[in-house]
Structure 1
Amino acid sequence: MGVTPTAEASHIRAGDIQAKSDTTLPVSARNPRRIFFKMVLFTDNETSKVDEDKVAIFFGDGTCTGVREIPRTTLRQVIPGTQINVYYFEHTYNAPGSYLVSYIGELRNGGVRNMSDSNTQTFYISTRVTIAPELNINRSPVLNAPAYDKAATNQVWLHNPAAFDADGDSLVFELRPSQQVANGVEGSINIDNCRPQPVVTTNYRFPNLTDPRGVQVPYLNSPGGGPSIFTQDRQTGQIVWNAPNVVGIYNFAFAVLEYRRSGTGPARLIGEVIRDMQILVEPTNNLRPTITIPPDLCVIAGTPITQTVTATDPNNDKVTLSAFGGIFPPATFVQSSTGPPQASGTFRWTPQCTDVASDPYTVVFKADDQPPSGTVLIDEKAWRITVVGPPRKTSVSAGKAAALF
């Protein structure tokens, strides 16, 4: 059928798909089997002229759109050489169940070092949604940090997706290899009957295994010197690559697993978001800044939180501070100084009783240095805030009754 696209179409860097159940008004008109989706793609517009203004989507129930049917809603270029494409779409399922919604991009951009001939391989991402009466409204995790980032040789690379779940579901993170679909879009529609068959990209290796000469540099409690590592914290999502040593483009994926607990039973897996992310490693003589954040916090709802975040830079460059997380707004973070010698900012939030949750909220603080030239380097750390309810008040009469026993 000629289902393999030409290499001239290679352009896709990274992306993910978000989902949420019907939240339209009035409440009585909502359809629990109607799901809304948002897909964000990062594409290369520096070495490729391909512009994907319409895409195909596979809904996981044996149905899919046409090859170029879902129109792009917005297009932005906030990163030189990279476009951000946003697509909104929806689907109504015939019955409750678990469905894997997916996208196949044709093709990945060229030059990805940790797979073979990336410009001949498709790009694949997916999101699993669960429709069940007992779940009521469900919204998939939102990843607030971009899926495309830059790193520097012989410097620790850090990235936190700043994931937030509006329903308070528990999130677990897992690294995954990048995937492809050999039959492409047309083959998945016509041969596989709208059910793509993803596999790991050809000759895939995680970034730290691409070059065996990579070694660690000193970081936190590690003196460095060992083989390069590439890890993700299962609870916070923090990714650490210690350390890139070869210039180039690298891709990897990770899953955000969404668990919900009801009653006293075990937590139930109700969703999964797969993000495929790209890193551009560049040479530099710059050194990373260091950010200092407060210790993890447990507060009673209604208690104002005011905390200071600081950062310093070994090159005495100015530092820009920022914060990511699902509690912004109403939470705020305002930088008051850029340094040198020290950048500083203030975080403020007063959690309400509606914010009480069994799992902590994660706020990611990031420090970007501002060198006169060359690659901007960062430090970032995740801060966890647990919000608990106020203690129950015992009535006077109940207290007197208790004293009698």
Structure 2
Amino acid sequence: MPRFLLCFFSILLLLGLAAPAGATHIVGGELDLQHQTGSTYRLNLNLYFDAVNGNPGALDTDLSVGIFEKGTDRRMQNLTLPLVSNTAVVYSDIACTLPILGTRRIQYSSLLTLAATTYNNPAGYYAAVERCCRNNSIRNIRNPGNAGQTYYLEFPAVVRNGQPFINSTPRIFPPLSDYACLGELFYYDFGGQDADGDSLVYELATPLNGHSSTNQPKPPQADPQPYSLVQWMPDLSELNQIPGNPALTVNRFSGRLEVRPSSVGLFVFGIKCLEYRKGIKISEVRRDFQLQVIDCPRNIKPEVKVLLPGSNQPYQSTKDVLHLVPGSSRCLRLRFTDPDPTSRLTLSLHPVNFSGPLPSFSLVQGTVRTAGAPDTLFSEMCFPKCLDTKGRVYLLDVIVADNGCSLPKRDTVRLAFTGVPDPNSPPTVATTAGPGLPLHVRIGDLVTFQVTGQDPDADPVTLEMTGRGFTPGSLGASLVPGPAGSPTRGTFSWRVPCPPTDKFLYEFEFTAAAKPCDERQASPPVVVPIQIDYTNTPPTLTASDVAPLIKRYLGEPYTLTLEGLDADNDQLTLTASVNGISLAEAGMRFTARNGAGKATATFEWDPSCTVAQREITEVTFLLQETTCRPVPTSHKLRFEVLRPEVPDFLPANIFTPNKDGVHDFFELPTLPPDFCDSRLANIKIFSRWGNLVYQTTNRTFKWDGGSLPAGVYFVLIEYTDKSYKGTVTIAP
């Protein structure tokens, strides 16, 4: 039947049903609790409001939720939930919309803190919101206009076995806005989702009435359980909430509702969603809703027939098995129709016992029995040539659905078939690198050649390159594909580098790959070995002095010349280094003249105190070549600063300053010489009473006694690192 006629008759019927009833406003709803961060959670109430018959003045701006401890029913806290959103609930199929049936989703929400020190009872907790009243026109419970609703949620403690236990309860239940037709199967996916991936189980449940009433429709706070239940009409019960054949059921694991209602009217029903983690129940959500059943105009289901290949005979599910083999047609003709006028039909497929590529339709949708439209539609269904059932019998449902309200009617043909794919040959690959292999190259050479892949079945080909024991890209080798076409071509390019290891033979492997039927087929590989020809003669280094230890006094310079030669004429570089200090600190200078095949240098040393303070100073002369695998050559010399000879220090200890030309002065001609950090600092002469009578820093001094009386005087000779003490006598 055309949709506009169906909707028109449905509106008349609903108007007739709704006229005598003075409906209130609440359709259904549920609570959910979502973890935010730390101990912060968000509590939501999703309430569904009758947008057509409800009284907008009854829409609350906020509702109160009570939170209680299970087992003791101790009130933990009250929380006000403000209204945060108000949106329309759409039909599953907009074309089936009835103007006298509409629902709005009203959400109330607030944050709350569940502290681990407070919410730790292993029995758990529950939240409840109480509100009255239900629609007066509900037919399956007693006194619906005075029946309240209690939205109920159980949740676990936030601590378990001494550890934080975080859980978000199930949510995102799809709201029901559709209606059911008398005597027709109605189905709806009513399941929720869980953010933690916990298992959800669904059960029918009697809706909760609670403590609210027409005298107090909005209690200031919810009371603890027990909550009274709604009272079913005679012959109805929790397992028979909406009469029908079958009566209302819910799939335990998917939440799918099904009912073939046997009475028209408005029916309330309740669902319980249980949440399990590791087999242990941790939460429970109760959900109330209502379903409108109307006497829809008759809608005859459509019909689809699958015709056997090369025949107008219909396929029979009970005896026919299709065998799709190479060389045979893989296409079937479909004939589908509907006796109702102006019926829009849609084809679809449902694989029963397999997954993978499905056949394609030449026509998916069409309209029959309207002006200019045929009474029957035809479509061609073609299986992929790659289909391979691997000897199994696959089952495939071919479904045609009309656009009837409230839900489409369907006809199904179940096909049983086997499939063997068309034979396919692997691709081949070739290169222009031969015939003389391996290719012999030198470092720095640019190696290029063409790689060609083709497939005898004209399947698209991809060229692949790998290396045996190495990654080509890490060495700078590339395979650049050429323009698309058949055969597929690519260009190999490699600027030969210095190998990172002692490996000089590289085997590049080329393959052509195709993916017929989404299964990779590869050619036998072609290997192109490339040999890097490389030889190197180490350079030689000679020095003008081969003595292992060079000894010099301070102020006695030293000069050395060096020469490096390389038979391969590689660029040579000469350097010098001192162990532990710089050349300049050691009083050394190094002047190099580097070049291709030859390098010379002059080394000069002015012995310094820095070197004198070290026992031995070692200088390394290094000759390096610029080549792939350089072999450095070195020459080492050791240097030592000689200390000056020190004569015996036996100073005279008596003199006679009588000017007779004999021993008239006190002097120290045999003082130890100055050397680096050992230098003369002071000479002092004291009287026997400790008075300083003479002082000098001149090592060539001559003291005439200074007219002091004869006697013994004390001498102190100070160096920067030591001192000498003695006496001197002035004789008369």
Task: Give TM-score scaled by structure 1 length.
Answer: 0.60
Structure 1 residues 189 and 120: CA distance shift in structure 2, 3 A:
closer
For 1:39, give the aligned amino acid. Answer: L
Following superposition of structure 1 onto structure 2, how do residues 1-400 of structure 1 map, counting pairs within 5 Å?
10-21=24-35, 23-24=36-37, 30-31=38-39, 34-49=40-55, 50-61=58-69, 62-63=75-76, 65=78, 69-79=80-90, 80-93=101-114, 94-97=118-121, 98-134=124-160, 136-184=165-213, 194-203=223-232, 205-206=236-237, 209=240, 216=245, 228-241=246-259, 243-261=260-278, 267-287=279-299, 315=340, 316-317=343-344, 339=366, 370-371=403-404, 375-378=405-408
Structure 1 residues 255 and 339: CA distance shift in structure 2, 3 A:
farther
Distance (whole Å) between structure 2 residues aligned to residue 231 and residue 342 of structure 1: 37
Deviations 1:298-349 (A, max 9, x none): xxxxxxxxxxxxxx9955335699xxxxxxxxxxxxxx96555699xxxxxx
Deviations 1:202-231 (A, max 9, x none): 2353498578xx663xxxxxxxxxxx4322
Distance (whole Å) between structure 1 residues aligned to residue 43 and residue 378 of structure 2: 42
- Indicate conservation of the 8 Å contact 2:48/2:106, yes or no: yes
Structure 1 residues 176 and 369: CA distance shift in structure 2, 3 A:
farther
For 1:236, give the aligned amino acid. Answer: S
Distance (whole Å) between structure 2 residues aligned to residue 188 and residue 254 of structure 1: 23
Deviations 1:177-206 (A, max 9, x none): 11101345969968x984143121023534
Distance (whole Å) between structure 1 residues aligned to residue 86 and residue 219 of structure 2: 27
Corresponding residue SS for 1:123: strand
Q: Which runs of 5+ in 1 are unaligned?
A: 1-6, 25-29, 217-227, 262-266, 291-311, 322-335, 344-366, 381-405
For 1:151, give the aligned amino acid. Answer: A
- Indicate conservation of the 8 Å contact 1:20/1:140, yes or no: yes
Distance (whole Å) between structure 2 residues aligned to residue 285 and residue 36 of structure 1: 46
Corresponding residue SS for 1:119: helix
Deviations 1:21-63 (A, max 9, x none): 2x23xxxxx12xx331222111113222122222121222414
- Indicate conservation of the 8 Å contact 1:289/1:313, yes or no: no
Deviation at 1:91, TM superposition (A): 2.6
Distance (whole Å) between structure 1 residues aligned to residue 211 and residue 23 of structure 2: 15
- Indicate conservation of the 8 Å contact 1:288/1:378, yes or no: no
Paired residues in the alignment total 283
Structure 1 residues 89 and 150: CA distance shift in structure 2, 3 A:
same
Distance (whole Å) between structure 1 residues aligned to residue 300 and residue 171 of structure 2: 28
For 1:115, give the aligned amino acid. Answer: I
- Indicate conservation of the 8 Å contact 1:56/1:70, yes or no: yes
Distance (whole Å) between structure 1 residues aligned to residue 225 and residue 365 of structure 2: 49
Deviations 1:139-188 (A, max 9, x none): 11124421443111010111221322221111111110111013459699
Deviations 1:108-159 (A, max 9, x none): 1221111012111101221111123346321111244214431110101112
Corresponding residue SS for 1:72: strand
Structure 1 residues 195 and 313: CA distance shift in structure 2, 3 A:
farther
For 1:250, give the aligned amino acid. Answer: F
Deviations 1:375-397 (A, max 9, x none): 421579xxxxxxxxxxxxxxxxx
Q: Which runs of 5+ in 2 are unaligned?
A: 1-20, 70-74, 91-100, 303-335, 349-362, 368-376, 380-399, 411-732
- Indicate conservation of the 8 Å contact 1:58/1:64, yes or no: yes
Corresponding residue SS for 2:119: coil
- Indicate conservation of the 8 Å contact 1:171/1:257, yes or no: yes
Deviation at 1:86, TM superposition (A): 0.9
- Indicate conservation of the 8 Å contact 1:155/1:287, yes or no: no
Distance (whole Å) between structure 2 residues aligned to residue 255 and residue 208 of structure 1: 12
Deviations 1:74-120 (A, max 9, x none): 11123553221011123324222311111212211221111012111
- Indicate conservation of the 8 Å contact 1:188/1:197, yes or no: no
- Indicate conservation of the 8 Å contact 2:134/2:144, yes or no: yes
Distance (whole Å) between structure 2 residues aligned to residue 113 and residue 342 of structure 1: 46
Corresponding residue SS for 1:167: coil
For 1:95, give the aligned amino acid. Answer: Y
Distance (whole Å) between structure 2 residues aligned to residue 55 and residue 165 of structure 1: 25
Larger radius of gyration: 2
**RMSD across aligned positions (CA):** 3.7
Distance (whole Å) between structure 2 residues aligned to residue 41 and residue 206 of structure 1: 24
Deviation at 1:286, TM superposition (A): 4.6
Structure 1 residues 76 and 189: CA distance shift in structure 2, 3 A:
closer
- Indicate conservation of the 8 Å contact 2:85/2:107, yes or no: yes
Distance (whole Å) between structure 2 residues aligned to residue 186 and residue 153 of structure 1: 36
For 1:111, give the aligned amino acid. Answer: S
Partner of 2:589: none
Distance (whole Å) between structure 2 residues aligned to residue 289 and residue 128 of structure 1: 44
Deviation at 1:269, TM superposition (A): 0.7
Partner of 1:305: none
- Indicate conservation of the 8 Å contact 1:206/1:230, yes or no: no
- Indicate conservation of the 8 Å contact 2:22/2:136, yes or no: no
Distance (whole Å) between structure 2 residues aligned to residue 287 and residue 281 of structure 1: 15
Corresponding residue SS for 2:145: helix
Partner of 2:505: none
- Indicate conservation of the 8 Å contact 2:130/2:219, yes or no: no
Distance (whole Å) between structure 1 residues aligned to residue 222 and residue 59 of structure 2: 26
Structure 1 residues 280 and 193: CA distance shift in structure 2, 3 A:
closer
Corresponding residue SS for 1:131: coil
Distance (whole Å) between structure 1 residues aligned to residue 254 and residue 378 of structure 2: 27
Distance (whole Å) between structure 1 residues aligned to residue 346 and residue 64 of structure 2: 42
- Indicate conservation of the 8 Å contact 2:271/2:287, yes or no: yes
Structure 1 residues 229 and 187: CA distance shift in structure 2, 3 A:
closer
